Structure 1
């Protein structure tokens, strides 16, 4: 660390780690002042993506952390520290929930309206990835509730998802940040416009459908977002982007919502079993409730019928709205 940034480990205050392999430490640098040290696997694609997507977002007028220095060989980056005013802390302190979600929506409106947003060398959010993520549900969540599926049932599951996602998997409309929710957003009141929202987590970004980050924001795996806030976000987005077809957006919203919730339910069980992080299991009932709602609202009756047939008890584990 000293060779890279002139710091020693004792200079750094480590921050709690999230579900990823990344870690952060807070430090005061003699040249740059308040900074975070990002540590990640130097061979991981998401580390390289962070170093390219961050400046790309900044060039569009959004607030991704400035990168002061890097040691790519060892997976370190010295980045701007946005402080402590996370959306989660602001909401816990009584901040105006609607105003915070309006600001987050304005980030997506700005990003999705930028001609240069998709002009970056990152992969598409394609069918193969969407299907592999959906498979986490049958690989991890279904076994956790005491049901083992046959290979034929898993293949049927994949075929159903392939049919469900056949249109949305071809979308190449926007830069999708993928984890656009309150735990990854900060309020920067000294800035203006959409730049007042600080962005922390975008290294898994891909090129895909506009609806995905709207799902991430309004159907949060870790927080019960009121339905009126969800409606407010969607109406604000559609009003600002009149060229967007409402029916198409909402079809994508529910299909990608179902896919994301299936993925996340499986991920949280995997984190428990593989990484020894059982704390995420407390969110599973919420996520299963979100999956149940997305299947219903999206008219995804074939998938719902499949889950009811092969895992009849799955709805018993879902939180009820």
Structure 2
């Protein structure tokens, strides 16, 4: 029995889809819910319910319009009632890049090259009308590590030192990211749709509602240091170099900035995945933490991260780090 949120039937009818069958689709780590609408003619659309106050569809609508205006492939908006959290969009199908590669592993380089090329095209656009990815945002995200993970494993840590170390490594990066590019912030294999099930097709973009203006390396980190899918380090390096060649990005600090943003993002994700378990009752995310922790350790080895690496050495026991973050109750 499908649990239909209040107001769904009325919204769908007003949008001209009242005769469609409604099938629920598994959601993500948010409060959003998704449904596929299917008419007798096999015409389909995607229905998102992002109910206030937990969610706000307005940013999604704003970013989707901007991306499509720039020639990118965000889903077309068919109808929306943001006050009630309803958005009806074009259906990109079922071919998420991650799942598609499970079936077509020989196409990995083709698919990732296309995903990198989409980022190159995005970064050629003037930055969108979005808020900056500034120091306070970086720090707020990084603090999720000490707000959720360290208490969950029973550690008392130097919180002031944590913030000071991050400020030290992020300050020069923040100065270098101006004027910035549009950063989608969750650009990874689960949020890239292979339209028509073809690796070389234009990349269908989803889950971009948190876009900011920031550093061009950030979405590369999201893609190549994927919390949900193993990406071979040598392959990630090959794709990173493909981006630099196509984008003409040869700044001597770029690789260090990539590692810095990798460490910041991976520390944040460890905190988020712990929170999803502790607060939201979603333990499945704990299984991903060892992968994220390994990526974090690799990033901390870069000289640009020396102050943050020293904090980890002083505050996080080596045994926890060797076991991919330890056991979270």
TM-based fold match above 0.5: yes
Per-residue deviation at 1:272?
Answer: 0.3
Residue 100 (1) aligns with residue 127 (2):
no
Match of 1:65 in 2: 75
Match of 1:184 in 2: 191
Q: Deviations over 1:156-208 (max 9, x none)?
A: 11111111100223424100000000001111148997x62111110111110
Q: RMSD value over aligned CA atoms?
A: 2.3
Instruction: Show the 5 A alignment for 1:13-92.
Output: 13-28=23-38, 33-43=43-53, 47-92=57-102
Moved more, 224-233 or 37-46: 37-46
TM-score normalised according to structure 2 size: 0.88
Residue 163 (1) aligns with residue 168 (2):
yes
Moved more, 32-41 or 285-294: 32-41
Residue 211 (1) aligns with residue 239 (2):
no
After superposition, the Cα gap between the structure-2 partners of 1:191 and 1:94, relative to the gap in structure 1 and judged at 3 Å, is closer
Per-residue deviation at 1:298?
Answer: 4.4
- Confirm or deny: 8 A CA contact 2:128 2:213 kept in the other structure: no
Match of 2:228 in 1: 222
Per-residue deviation at 1:44?
Answer: 6.0
After superposition, the Cα gap between the structure-2 partners of 1:138 and 1:25, relative to the gap in structure 1 and judged at 3 Å, is same
TM-score normalised according to structure 1 size: 0.90
Q: Deviations over 1:123-153 (max 9, x none)?
A: 111111110110111111112222123xxx1
CA distance in 1 between partners of 2:228 and 2:87 (Å): 28
Q: Deviations over 1:104-131 (max 9, x none)?
A: 001100000123xx142x2111111110
Instruction: Show the 5 A alignment for 1:204-283.
Output: 204-242=210-248, 244-283=249-288
- Confirm or deny: 8 A CA contact 1:288 1:318 kept in the other structure: yes
CA distance in 2 between partners of 1:292 and 1:276 (Å): 27
After superposition, the Cα gap between the structure-2 partners of 1:272 and 1:44, relative to the gap in structure 1 and judged at 3 Å, is closer
CA distance in 2 between partners of 1:190 and 1:112 (Å): 25
CA distance in 2 between partners of 1:282 and 1:9 (Å): 41
Unpaired segments of 5 or more residues in structure 1? Answer: none
CA distance in 2 between partners of 1:44 and 1:275 (Å): 13
SS at match of 2:279: helix
Provide the aligned length of Structure 1 versus Structure 2: 311
- Confirm or deny: 8 A CA contact 1:190 1:196 kept in the other structure: no
